[in-house]
Structure 1
Amino acid sequence: MKAKKIAHKVAGGIALMTLLVFLSATLYSELTGNYALVAQVKSKILSPGLFILIPCLIVTAGSGFNMANGSKNKKIKAKAKRMPFIGLNGLFVLIPCAFYLNYLAQSDLFGFEFYLVQSVEVFAGLVNIFLISLNVRDGLRLSRKLTPKEQPAI
Protein backbone atom coordinates (compact mmCIF):
# COMPACT_ATOMS: atom_id res chain seq x y z
CA MET A 1 0.00 0.00 0.00
CA LYS A 2 2.85 2.39 0.77
CA ALA A 3 4.30 2.08 -2.75
CA LYS A 4 0.86 2.87 -4.20
CA LYS A 5 0.61 6.03 -2.09
CA ILE A 6 4.09 7.14 -3.11
CA ALA A 7 3.35 6.49 -6.80
CA HIS A 8 0.07 8.40 -6.46
CA LYS A 9 1.73 11.43 -4.86
CA VAL A 10 4.70 11.52 -7.22
CA ALA A 11 2.65 11.01 -10.40
CA GLY A 12 0.04 13.57 -9.30
CA GLY A 13 2.73 16.13 -8.50
CA ILE A 14 4.48 15.60 -11.82
CA ALA A 15 1.15 15.86 -13.68
CA LEU A 16 0.30 19.16 -11.99
CA MET A 17 3.78 20.57 -12.57
CA THR A 18 3.69 19.47 -16.22
CA LEU A 19 0.40 21.30 -16.78
CA LEU A 20 1.80 24.40 -15.09
CA VAL A 21 4.88 24.26 -17.35
CA PHE A 22 2.66 23.86 -20.45
CA LEU A 23 0.60 26.89 -19.44
CA SER A 24 3.61 29.02 -18.47
CA ALA A 25 5.53 28.19 -21.64
CA THR A 26 2.45 28.87 -23.78
CA LEU A 27 1.77 32.24 -22.18
CA TYR A 28 5.44 33.27 -22.23
CA SER A 29 5.89 32.34 -25.88
CA GLU A 30 2.72 34.19 -26.85
CA LEU A 31 3.74 37.29 -24.92
CA THR A 32 7.12 37.42 -26.68
CA GLY A 33 5.40 37.53 -30.05
CA ASN A 34 8.08 35.17 -31.36
CA TYR A 35 6.22 32.76 -33.67
CA ALA A 36 9.23 30.43 -33.89
CA LEU A 37 9.18 30.10 -30.09
CA VAL A 38 5.41 29.53 -30.11
CA ALA A 39 5.87 26.75 -32.68
CA GLN A 40 8.67 25.21 -30.62
CA VAL A 41 6.54 25.26 -27.45
CA LYS A 42 3.61 23.65 -29.27
CA SER A 43 5.93 20.94 -30.58
CA LYS A 44 7.45 20.25 -27.14
CA ILE A 45 4.02 20.01 -25.52
CA LEU A 46 3.28 17.08 -27.84
CA SER A 47 6.62 15.39 -27.39
CA PRO A 48 7.97 14.92 -24.81
CA GLY A 49 5.20 16.74 -22.88
CA LEU A 50 2.27 14.40 -23.44
CA PHE A 51 4.55 11.37 -23.01
CA ILE A 52 5.20 12.63 -19.48
CA LEU A 53 1.72 13.90 -18.64
CA ILE A 54 -0.51 11.05 -19.84
CA PRO A 55 1.22 8.22 -17.94
CA CYS A 56 1.32 10.39 -14.80
CA LEU A 57 -2.42 11.02 -15.02
CA ILE A 58 -3.10 7.32 -15.60
CA VAL A 59 -0.99 6.32 -12.57
CA THR A 60 -2.57 9.03 -10.43
CA ALA A 61 -6.13 8.11 -11.39
CA GLY A 62 -5.57 4.35 -11.21
CA SER A 63 -3.82 4.38 -7.86
CA GLY A 64 -6.31 6.88 -6.48
CA PHE A 65 -9.34 4.83 -7.48
CA ASN A 66 -7.65 1.69 -6.15
CA MET A 67 -6.87 3.27 -2.77
CA ALA A 68 -10.35 4.84 -2.54
CA ASN A 69 -12.07 1.52 -3.15
CA GLY A 70 -15.30 1.62 -1.13
CA SER A 71 -14.31 4.60 1.03
CA LYS A 72 -17.06 6.66 2.62
CA ASN A 73 -14.73 9.64 3.26
CA LYS A 74 -16.15 12.84 1.71
CA LYS A 75 -12.75 14.14 0.59
CA ILE A 76 -11.92 10.85 -1.11
CA LYS A 77 -15.32 10.81 -2.81
CA ALA A 78 -14.79 14.42 -3.98
CA LYS A 79 -11.37 13.52 -5.41
CA ALA A 80 -12.85 10.50 -7.20
CA LYS A 81 -15.66 12.61 -8.69
CA ARG A 82 -13.18 15.13 -10.14
CA MET A 83 -10.96 12.59 -11.87
CA PRO A 84 -13.35 11.59 -14.70
CA PHE A 85 -13.85 15.26 -15.60
CA ILE A 86 -10.08 15.86 -15.56
CA GLY A 87 -9.57 12.85 -17.83
CA LEU A 88 -12.39 13.70 -20.23
CA ASN A 89 -11.27 17.34 -20.44
CA GLY A 90 -7.77 16.16 -21.27
CA LEU A 91 -8.84 13.49 -23.74
CA PHE A 92 -11.50 15.42 -25.64
CA VAL A 93 -10.32 19.03 -25.33
CA LEU A 94 -6.65 19.42 -24.36
CA ILE A 95 -5.09 16.66 -26.46
CA PRO A 96 -6.96 17.55 -29.67
CA CYS A 97 -6.14 21.23 -29.10
CA ALA A 98 -2.46 20.38 -28.61
CA PHE A 99 -2.29 18.44 -31.88
CA TYR A 100 -4.22 21.05 -33.86
CA LEU A 101 -2.29 24.00 -32.43
CA ASN A 102 0.98 22.24 -33.21
CA TYR A 103 -0.21 21.68 -36.79
CA LEU A 104 -1.21 25.34 -37.16
CA ALA A 105 2.03 26.59 -35.58
CA GLN A 106 4.25 24.35 -37.72
CA SER A 107 2.31 25.57 -40.78
CA ASP A 108 2.85 29.19 -39.68
CA LEU A 109 -0.91 29.77 -39.50
CA PHE A 110 -1.18 32.22 -36.60
CA GLY A 111 -4.56 33.70 -37.37
CA PHE A 112 -7.97 33.90 -35.73
CA GLU A 113 -8.42 30.12 -35.72
CA PHE A 114 -5.09 29.57 -33.91
CA TYR A 115 -5.94 32.07 -31.19
CA LEU A 116 -9.50 30.77 -30.80
CA VAL A 117 -8.23 27.20 -30.25
CA GLN A 118 -5.41 28.57 -28.07
CA SER A 119 -8.01 30.30 -25.87
CA VAL A 120 -9.98 27.07 -25.53
CA GLU A 121 -6.79 25.18 -24.64
CA VAL A 122 -5.72 27.73 -22.02
CA PHE A 123 -9.18 27.77 -20.41
CA ALA A 124 -9.43 23.96 -20.36
CA GLY A 125 -5.88 23.75 -19.01
CA LEU A 126 -6.74 26.17 -16.21
CA VAL A 127 -9.80 24.09 -15.35
CA ASN A 128 -7.66 20.94 -15.07
CA ILE A 129 -5.00 22.74 -13.05
CA PHE A 130 -7.72 23.96 -10.67
CA LEU A 131 -9.31 20.52 -10.29
CA ILE A 132 -5.98 18.75 -9.82
CA SER A 133 -4.99 21.41 -7.28
CA LEU A 134 -8.19 20.67 -5.35
CA ASN A 135 -7.30 16.98 -5.40
CA VAL A 136 -3.79 17.73 -4.16
CA ARG A 137 -5.21 19.91 -1.39
CA ASP A 138 -7.64 17.21 -0.30
CA GLY A 139 -4.93 14.57 -0.52
CA LEU A 140 -2.63 16.60 1.69
CA ARG A 141 -5.43 17.09 4.20
CA LEU A 142 -6.12 13.34 4.19
CA SER A 143 -2.50 12.40 4.74
CA ARG A 144 -1.74 15.05 7.34
CA LYS A 145 -1.02 13.77 10.81
CA LEU A 146 -3.29 15.30 13.42
CA THR A 147 -1.64 16.92 16.41
CA PRO A 148 -3.03 16.06 19.86
CA LYS A 149 -5.02 19.35 19.86
CA GLU A 150 -6.65 18.51 16.50
CA GLN A 151 -7.65 14.95 17.38
CA PRO A 152 -11.34 14.55 18.05
CA ALA A 153 -12.39 14.00 21.66
CA ILE A 154 -13.68 10.52 22.38
Structure 2
Amino acid sequence: MKAKKIAHKVAGGIALMTLIVFLSTTLYSELTGNYALIAQVKSKILMPGLFILIPCLIVTAGSGFNMARGSKNKKIKAKAKRMPFIGLNGLLVLIPCAFYLNYLAQSGIYGFEFYLVQSIEVIAGLVNISLISLNIRDGLRLSRKPTPKQQPVL
Protein backbone atom coordinates (compact mmCIF):
# COMPACT_ATOMS: atom_id res chain seq x y z
CA MET A 1 0.00 0.00 0.00
CA LYS A 2 2.85 2.39 0.81
CA ALA A 3 4.42 2.04 -2.66
CA LYS A 4 1.06 2.78 -4.28
CA LYS A 5 0.69 5.98 -2.25
CA ILE A 6 4.21 7.10 -3.13
CA ALA A 7 3.66 6.38 -6.83
CA HIS A 8 0.34 8.26 -6.68
CA LYS A 9 1.89 11.33 -5.06
CA VAL A 10 4.99 11.43 -7.26
CA ALA A 11 3.08 10.88 -10.52
CA GLY A 12 0.44 13.46 -9.57
CA GLY A 13 3.08 16.02 -8.69
CA ILE A 14 4.99 15.43 -11.93
CA ALA A 15 1.74 15.68 -13.93
CA LEU A 16 0.88 19.01 -12.32
CA MET A 17 4.37 20.41 -12.82
CA THR A 18 4.40 19.24 -16.44
CA LEU A 19 1.13 21.05 -17.15
CA ILE A 20 2.47 24.19 -15.46
CA VAL A 21 5.63 24.01 -17.59
CA PHE A 22 3.51 23.55 -20.75
CA LEU A 23 1.40 26.58 -19.88
CA SER A 24 4.23 28.84 -18.75
CA THR A 25 6.49 28.07 -21.74
CA THR A 26 3.54 28.55 -24.10
CA LEU A 27 2.71 31.93 -22.60
CA TYR A 28 6.37 33.00 -22.51
CA SER A 29 6.97 32.02 -26.13
CA GLU A 30 3.80 33.84 -27.22
CA LEU A 31 4.80 36.98 -25.32
CA THR A 32 8.22 37.05 -27.01
CA GLY A 33 6.58 36.92 -30.44
CA ASN A 34 9.46 34.69 -31.57
CA TYR A 35 7.90 32.23 -34.02
CA ALA A 36 10.92 29.92 -33.91
CA LEU A 37 10.58 29.69 -30.12
CA ILE A 38 6.82 29.10 -30.38
CA ALA A 39 7.44 26.25 -32.86
CA GLN A 40 10.11 24.77 -30.58
CA VAL A 41 7.78 24.90 -27.54
CA LYS A 42 4.96 23.26 -29.50
CA SER A 43 7.34 20.52 -30.62
CA LYS A 44 8.69 19.90 -27.10
CA ILE A 45 5.17 19.67 -25.67
CA LEU A 46 4.58 16.70 -27.98
CA MET A 47 7.96 15.06 -27.44
CA PRO A 48 9.05 14.56 -24.70
CA GLY A 49 6.19 16.42 -22.96
CA LEU A 50 3.27 14.11 -23.63
CA PHE A 51 5.47 11.07 -23.03
CA ILE A 52 6.03 12.40 -19.51
CA LEU A 53 2.51 13.66 -18.83
CA ILE A 54 0.36 10.79 -20.10
CA PRO A 55 2.03 7.98 -18.10
CA CYS A 56 1.98 10.17 -14.98
CA LEU A 57 -1.76 10.79 -15.36
CA ILE A 58 -2.38 7.07 -15.95
CA VAL A 59 -0.40 6.11 -12.82
CA THR A 60 -2.11 8.83 -10.78
CA ALA A 61 -5.60 7.89 -11.89
CA GLY A 62 -5.05 4.14 -11.67
CA SER A 63 -3.47 4.19 -8.23
CA GLY A 64 -6.01 6.73 -7.00
CA PHE A 65 -9.01 4.71 -8.12
CA ASN A 66 -7.42 1.56 -6.70
CA MET A 67 -6.80 3.15 -3.29
CA ALA A 68 -10.25 4.80 -3.26
CA ARG A 69 -12.17 1.63 -4.02
CA GLY A 70 -15.04 1.23 -1.57
CA SER A 71 -14.29 4.45 0.32
CA LYS A 72 -17.14 6.51 1.71
CA ASN A 73 -14.91 9.54 2.40
CA LYS A 74 -16.26 12.73 0.78
CA LYS A 75 -12.82 14.04 -0.20
CA ILE A 76 -11.90 10.75 -1.85
CA LYS A 77 -15.21 10.72 -3.71
CA ALA A 78 -14.61 14.31 -4.87
CA LYS A 79 -11.14 13.38 -6.14
CA ALA A 80 -12.55 10.37 -7.99
CA LYS A 81 -15.25 12.53 -9.61
CA ARG A 82 -12.67 15.02 -10.92
CA MET A 83 -10.42 12.44 -12.58
CA PRO A 84 -12.74 11.61 -15.53
CA PHE A 85 -12.97 15.34 -16.35
CA ILE A 86 -9.19 15.66 -16.18
CA GLY A 87 -8.75 12.63 -18.45
CA LEU A 88 -11.43 13.61 -20.96
CA ASN A 89 -10.20 17.19 -21.10
CA GLY A 90 -6.72 15.91 -21.85
CA LEU A 91 -7.80 13.26 -24.32
CA LEU A 92 -10.45 15.23 -26.22
CA VAL A 93 -9.08 18.79 -26.00
CA LEU A 94 -5.47 19.12 -24.90
CA ILE A 95 -3.85 16.33 -26.91
CA PRO A 96 -5.61 17.20 -30.21
CA CYS A 97 -4.77 20.89 -29.63
CA ALA A 98 -1.13 20.03 -28.99
CA PHE A 99 -0.84 18.03 -32.23
CA TYR A 100 -2.68 20.63 -34.32
CA LEU A 101 -0.80 23.59 -32.86
CA ASN A 102 2.49 21.80 -33.48
CA TYR A 103 1.43 21.17 -37.08
CA LEU A 104 0.50 24.83 -37.57
CA ALA A 105 3.66 26.10 -35.87
CA GLN A 106 5.95 23.80 -37.86
CA SER A 107 4.17 24.99 -41.03
CA GLY A 108 4.63 28.64 -40.02
CA ILE A 109 0.88 29.28 -39.87
CA TYR A 110 0.25 31.81 -37.11
CA GLY A 111 -3.11 33.29 -37.98
CA PHE A 112 -6.53 33.47 -36.39
CA GLU A 113 -6.93 29.67 -36.38
CA PHE A 114 -3.65 29.16 -34.51
CA TYR A 115 -4.54 31.67 -31.82
CA LEU A 116 -8.10 30.39 -31.48
CA VAL A 117 -6.85 26.84 -30.88
CA GLN A 118 -4.07 28.23 -28.65
CA SER A 119 -6.71 30.00 -26.53
CA ILE A 120 -8.74 26.80 -26.21
CA GLU A 121 -5.59 24.92 -25.18
CA VAL A 122 -4.66 27.51 -22.54
CA ILE A 123 -8.16 27.49 -21.04
CA ALA A 124 -8.33 23.68 -21.02
CA GLY A 125 -4.84 23.55 -19.50
CA LEU A 126 -5.88 25.94 -16.74
CA VAL A 127 -8.93 23.78 -16.05
CA ASN A 128 -6.76 20.66 -15.66
CA ILE A 129 -4.23 22.51 -13.51
CA SER A 130 -7.08 23.67 -11.28
CA LEU A 131 -8.68 20.22 -11.00
CA ILE A 132 -5.37 18.47 -10.31
CA SER A 133 -4.52 21.15 -7.73
CA LEU A 134 -7.85 20.51 -6.00
CA ASN A 135 -7.10 16.78 -5.97
CA ILE A 136 -3.67 17.41 -4.47
CA ARG A 137 -5.17 19.74 -1.86
CA ASP A 138 -7.74 17.11 -0.86
CA GLY A 139 -5.09 14.40 -0.85
CA LEU A 140 -2.89 16.45 1.47
CA ARG A 141 -5.83 17.03 3.79
CA LEU A 142 -6.52 13.31 3.84
CA SER A 143 -2.93 12.40 4.61
CA ARG A 144 -2.58 14.82 7.53
CA LYS A 145 -2.54 13.15 10.89
CA PRO A 146 -5.29 14.52 13.09
CA THR A 147 -3.81 16.57 15.87
CA PRO A 148 -4.86 15.54 19.35
CA LYS A 149 -7.09 18.09 21.01
CA GLN A 150 -5.18 20.11 23.49
CA GLN A 151 -6.12 19.64 27.09
CA PRO A 152 -7.22 22.83 28.81
CA VAL A 153 -4.67 24.25 31.18
CA LEU A 154 -6.07 24.43 34.71
Q: TM-score, normalised by structure 2?
A: 0.96
Counterpart secondary structure, 1:76 = helix
Amino acid aligned to 1:68: A
Q: Is residue 2 of structure 2 the alignment partner of residue 2 of structure 1? A: yes
* CA-CA distance at 1:144 after TM superposition: 0.6
Task: Tell me which residue corresponds to 1:112.
Answer: 112
CA RMSD of aligned residues (A): 0.7
- For residues 83-132 of structure 1, the C-alpha deviation after alignment (integer angstroms, 9 at most, x for no partner) is 00000000000000000000000000000000000000000000000000
**1:105, 1:144 → 2: CA distance?**
45
Counterpart secondary structure, 1:51 = helix
Task: Tell me which residue corresponds to 1:22.
Answer: 22
**1:118, 1:149 → 2: CA distance?**
51
Task: Tell me which residue corresponds to 1:82.
Answer: 82
How many aligned residue pairs are there?
Answer: 150
Counterpart secondary structure, 2:145 = coil
Task: Tell me which residue corresponds to 1:99.
Answer: 99
Task: Tell me which residue corresponds to 1:44.
Answer: 44
* CA-CA distance at 1:149 after TM superposition: 2.3
Counterpart secondary structure, 1:45 = helix
**1:100, 1:145 → 2: CA distance?**
46
Q: TM-score, normalised by structure 1?
A: 0.96
**1:47, 1:97 → 2: CA distance?**
14
**1:25, 1:145 → 2: CA distance?**
37
Structure 2 stretches lacking a partner, 5+ long: none
